[in-house]
Amino acid sequence: MTSIAVLGAAGRMGRRLLALSSEFEGLRLAAALEHSGHPDLGRSAAELAAEPALESTNVVLTDSFDTAGQIDVLIDFTGPAATRAALETCQRSKTAMVIGTTGLTDNDHRLIDDAAKMIPILQAPNMSLGVNLLFALAAQAATRLDQSWDIEITEAHHRFKKDAPSGTALGIVSAICDATGKNADETVAFGAYGADPDNAPRQPGQIGVHSIRMGDVVGEHTATFAAMGERIALTHTASSRDIFARGALKAAAWLGGKSPARYRMGDVLGL
């Protein structure tokens, strides 16, 4: 049995993680965590998640990791600053981490790399099992097609999303570049190309990345490969945030007991 804590447990994703944790027989919810001063501190996890099955856990929302009891894996869907603090805490307590936080910087990834020398960490820009299969399929397609094929990645999310492009779109870029040996910094063209006729045409080998923000879109990602006369589009559409929560919980169950290292969702899926 793997004991888990949910950081940011009173947020939208946190509440779904609490509620869905009861679906996983190999997991035990041991703690629900929020920042100091949060108005919901002291409320039960069952009440926060509107999930009666959690009443038997006796877990209440707290701001202290030290009083959370024995934790095997911390699941973190917060923000970069909170993730940095959690990395320090988990290293001290030897607690594994599943990180679903987006908007991480290169420095944040270096901190994760360093922490993964001491504790097992699974970090992914998207916890959906389907999206991680999309990463693998996009990488495979890119290795089979030459530079006469243009690559365009588009992503759409709700109007409230704080980062652009999405971590998932960058994950597709990373998967393609890792598979083809390309340098993402030299290959990616973000957004529109502008009115300059010298810069507007697509350059051979570039990867275009485009973001759309509208309404309540949960998440849509498409990797399009196009040549003269034909086009291949690989698309993943999310209709519920529960897919991210279930993926993270599956990752937590898989990560419990692993050796210190940095893992990815592809490892969970055997990809």
pLDDT digits (tens, 9 = 90+) for 56-105: 999 999 998 775 568 999 999 999 999 999 999 999 999 999 999 988 99
Q: Are 271 and 129 in contact (CB under 8 A)?
A: no
Note whether 140 and 91 are same-domain residues: no
Note whether 11 and 118 are same-domain residues: yes
Helix 129-144 vs helix 242-255: crossing angle, to nearest 10:
90
Report the DSSP pairing between strands 219-227 and 150-157.
antiparallel
Q: What is the pLDDT of residue 241?
A: 86
Note whether 158 and 245 are same-domain residues: no
Q: What is the pLDDT of residue 192?
A: 64
The catalytically annotated residue of 157, 221, 236, 250 is: 157
pTM of the entire structure?
Answer: 0.81
Q: Give me the mean pLDDT over the 200-219 stretch.
A: 90
Note whether 139 and 218 are same-domain residues: yes
Q: What is the pLDDT of residue 191?
A: 80
Note whether 118 and 172 are same-domain residues: no
Note whether 219 and 253 are same-domain residues: no
Is residue 157 flagged as an active site residue?
yes
pLDDT bin (cut points 50, 70, 90) of residue 193 is: low
Q: Are 153 and 211 in contact (CB under 8 A)?
A: no
Mean pLDDT of the chain: 93
Q: What is the pLDDT of residue 180?
A: 96
**What phi, psi does 209 have (nearest 5°)?**
-130, 125
Note whether 221 and 257 are same-domain residues: no
* CATH number, domain with residue 56: 3.40.50.720
Which residue would you say has higher pLDDT here, 67 or 139?
139
Note whether 247 and 222 are same-domain residues: no
- Decide if pLDDT at 258 tops 90: yes
| Three state DSSP letters for the chain | CEEEEEECCCCHHHHHHHHHHCCCCCEEEEEEECCCCCCCCCCEHHHHHCCHHHHHHCCEEECCHHHCCCCCEEEECCCHHHHHHHHHHHHHHCCEEEECCCCCCHHHHHHHHHHCCCCEEEECCCCCHHHHHHHHHHHHHHHHCCCCCEEEEEEEECCCCCCCCCHHHHHHHHHHHHHHCCCHHHHEEECCCCCCCCCCCCCCCCEEEEEEECCCCCEEEEEEEEECCEEEEEEEEECCCHHHHHHHHHHHHHHCCCCCEEECHHHHHCC
Q: What is the pLDDT of residue 199?
A: 63
Q: How many domains does the chain have?
A: 2
Q: Give me the mean pLDDT over the 204-220 stretch.
A: 94
pLDDT digits (tens, 9 = 90+) for 158-169: 999 988 999 899
Q: What is the pLDDT of residue 68?
A: 59
User: What type of residue sits at position 194?
Assistant: G
How many Cβ atoms are within 10 Å of 183's Cβ, its own excluded?
8
- Decide if pLDDT at 195 tops 60: no
- Percentage of the chain modeled with pLDDT above 70: 96
Helix 80-93 vs helix 106-115: crossing angle, to nearest 10:
10
Note whether 194 and 164 are same-domain residues: yes
- Decide if pLDDT at 209 tops 90: yes
* CATH number, domain with residue 201: 3.30.360.10
pLDDT bin (cut points 50, 70, 90) of residue 197 is: low
pLDDT bin (cut points 50, 70, 90) of residue 8 is: very high
- Decide if pLDDT at 271 tops 90: no
Q: Give me the mean pLDDT over the 149-157 stretch.
A: 97
Note whether 16 and 99 are same-domain residues: yes
Domain hosting residue 265, numbered range: 2-123+241-269
The catalytically annotated residue of 35, 38, 161, 210 is: 161
Note whether 138 and 65 are same-domain residues: no
**Nearest to residue 80, comparing CAs of 8, 143, 135?**
8
pLDDT bin (cut points 50, 70, 90) of residue 194 is: low
Note whether 13 and 115 are same-domain residues: yes
User: What type of residue sits at position 196?
Assistant: D
